[in-house]
Amino acid sequence: MRQHFIISAAAVALSSTAALAEPIAFEAILAPTDEIRMEFGDDSKHFLLMVRREGEATGDGMFDGARVVEHGYHDIMPPSGGDPQGYLEVTTDAGDIAYLKWIVRAVFVKGEEGPRLIDYGHWEMVSGTGALAGMTGVGTLQIKPASETERTFVVEGEIGEAP
């Protein structure tokens, strides 16, 4: 009987915590505003790109219409892949900021016009200000080319109050 009560109490606690999380989904086309690029001087096509990109989020949830800034570190080793990572600074219309730490794995595949890069990974909310202070979250991230220099960040997941 006691074990049944403990299991029931745990289930109620978990279900009430899960109800506090809010799903988010947005896309942001980010254009570079600053970048540093290092080409390796060997015969490889290896390069390192440190970039700041900016744009606006469109989608569902609390970040629709938010200003998004990427602070990225992209270590790319064609044709084997790459390990981009960084932070997204997401500022709502109210001025609240969410800091999302992200990491993706980049893989090259054969495309119609040469090698094509595919980027999939995840993000975690590590900090916030204003109404987003004390919040946490996690989800998936995909980076797609939007143009020669712009990238579309596709962000999905959930954000809620930290326990």
The predicted model scores a pTM of 0.85
**Residues of the domain holding 59:** 22-161
CA gap 32, 148 in Å, rounded = 11
**pLDDT for res 133:** 97
Locate 73 and state its tokens: 């570190």
Q: Which DSSP letter does residue 129 get?
A: -
The rounded Cα 2 to chain-centroid distance in angstroms is 43
Whole-number pLDDT of residue 18: 45
Q: For the beta carbon of residue 80, count every other beta carbon within 10 angstroms.
A: 12
* pLDDT at residue 61 in the model: 87
Q: Residue 139 CB: number of other CB atoms within 10 A?
A: 18
Residue 66 has what pLDDT?
98
Both tokens of residue 104? 């993706």
Domain assignment present for 119: yes
Q: Is residue 4 part of a domain?
A: no
Residue with tokens 């989904």: 25
The domain that contains 46 carries what CATH number? Answer: 2.40.160.20
Tell me how far CA of residue 52 lies from CA of 34, 49, 142, 150, in angstroms: 5, 10, 17, 11
In a domain, 51, yes or no: yes
- Number of structural domains in the chain: 1
Instruction: Please report whether residue 8 resides in a domain.
Output: no
What confidence score (pLDDT) does residue 3 get? Answer: 52
* 69 assigned to some structural domain: yes
Q: Is residue 91 part of a domain?
A: yes
In a domain, 12, yes or no: no
**What does each of the 163 residues of the chain score in pLDDT, given as a tens digit?**
545 444 444 444 444 444 478 999 999 999 999 999 999 999 999 999 999 999 999 998 899 999 999 999 999 999 999 999 999 999 999 999 999 999 999 999 998 988 889 999 999 999 999 999 999 999 999 999 999 999 999 999 999 999 9
